[in-house]
Amino acid sequence: MDKKIFSGVQPTGNLHLGNYLGAIKNFVDLNNNKNNECIFCVVDLHAITVRQDPKQLRNNIRETVATFIASGIDPKKSIIFNQSSVSAHAEGAWILSCVARMGWLNRMTQFKEKAGKDKEKASIGLYSYPVLMASDILLYDATHVPVGDDQKQHLELCRDIAQKFNNDFEVENFLKVPEPLIQKEFSRIMSLKDGSKKMSKSELSDLSRINLTDEKDQIINKIKKAKTDPLPMPQNINELEDRLEAKNLLGIYSSLTNSSLKNSVEIFAGKNFSEFKEKLSDQLVNKIDPISKEIKKLLRDKSYLDKILLDGVEKADLIASKKIERIKEIVGF
Ligand code: TYM
Query: Could you read off the pLDDT of 234-286 as tens digits, one per residue?
Result: 999 999 999 999 999 999 999 999 999 999 999 999 999 999 999 999 999 99
Residue 187 has pLDDT above 80, yes or no: yes
Query: Could you read off the pLDDT of 54-107 as tens digits, one per residue?
Result: 999 999 999 999 999 999 999 999 999 999 999 999 999 999 999 999 999 999
**Is CATH 3.40.50.620 what the domain over 3-187+302-331 is classified as, yes or no?**
yes
What is the structure's pLDDT at 169? Answer: 98
What is the structure's pLDDT at 320? Answer: 98
CB 97 within 8 A of CB 128: yes
Q: Give, for ligand 1, the residue of 6, 19, 114 to mutate: max count of ligand atoms closer than 8 Å to Cβ.
A: 19
Residue tagged active-site, from 3, 4, 25, 198 = 198
Q: Where are the domains of the chain?
A: 3-187+302-331, 206-297
Query: Could you read off the pLDDT of 149-171 as tens digits, one per residue?
Result: 999 999 999 999 999 999 999 99
CA distance 25 to 187: 11
> Which residues sit with their C-beta closer than 6 Å to ligand 1?
6-10, 18-19, 22-23, 43, 46, 133, 136-137, 145, 147-148, 150-151, 187-189, 198-199
Going 114 to 128 to 326 to 159, the CA torsion angle's sign is: positive
Strands 78-82 and 37-42: parallel
Q: Give, for ligand 1, the residue of 3, 5, 9 to mutate: max count of ligand atoms closer than 8 Å to Cβ.
A: 9
Query: Could you read off the pLDDT of 200-213 as tens digits, one per residue?
Result: 998 999 999 999 99
What is the structure's pLDDT at 101? Answer: 98
**Residue whose CA is closest, atom 22 of ligand 1?**
147
Q: How confident is the model at residue 1 (pLDDT cuts 50, 70, 90)?
A: low
Give the residue-averaged pLDDT of 163-184: 96
Query: Could you read off the pLDDT of 281-311 as tens digits, one per residue?
Result: 999 999 999 999 999 999 999 999 999 999 9
C-alpha 152 to ligand 1 mean position (Å):
10
CA distance 241 to 260: 16
CA distance 141 to 331: 18
Query: Could you read off the pLDDT of 135-154 as tens digits, one per residue?
Result: 999 999 999 999 999 999 99
What is the structure's pLDDT at 14? Answer: 85
Is 262 noted as a catalytic residue in this protein?
A: no
3-state secondary structure the chain: CCCEEEEEECCCCCCEHHHHHHHHHHHHHHHHCCCCEEEEEECHHHHCCCCCCHHHHHHHHHHHHHHHHHHCCCCCCEEEEEHHHCCHHHHHHHHHHCCCCHHHHHCCHHHHHHHCCCHHHCCHHHHHHHHHHHHHHHCCCCCEEECCHHHHHHHHHHHHHHHHHHHHCCCCCCCCCCEEECCCCCCCCECCCCCCCECCCCCCCHHHCCECCCCHHHHHHHHHHCCCCCCCCCCCHHHHHHCHHHHHHHHHHHHHHCCCHHHHHHHHCCCCHHHHHHHHHHHHHHHHHHHHHHHHHHHCCHHHHHHHHHHHHHHHHHHHHHHHHHHHHHHCC
**CATH hierarchy code of domain 206-297:** 1.10.240.10
Residue tagged active-site, from 152, 176, 201, 216 = 201
CA distance 312 to 315: 5
CB 259 within 8 A of CB 237: no
Question: What atom in ligand 1 is closest to the CA of residue 148?
Answer: 20
Q: Give, for ligand 1, the residue of 45, 129, 151 to mutate: max count of ligand atoms closer than 8 Å to Cβ.
A: 151
pTM, two decimals, is 0.96
Give the residue-averaged pLDDT of 40-55: 97
Neighbours of 177 (CB within 10 A): 15
240 closest CA partner among 10, 249, 71: 249
Question: What atom in ligand 1 is closest to the CA of residue 10?
Answer: 2
What is the structure's pLDDT at 224? Answer: 98
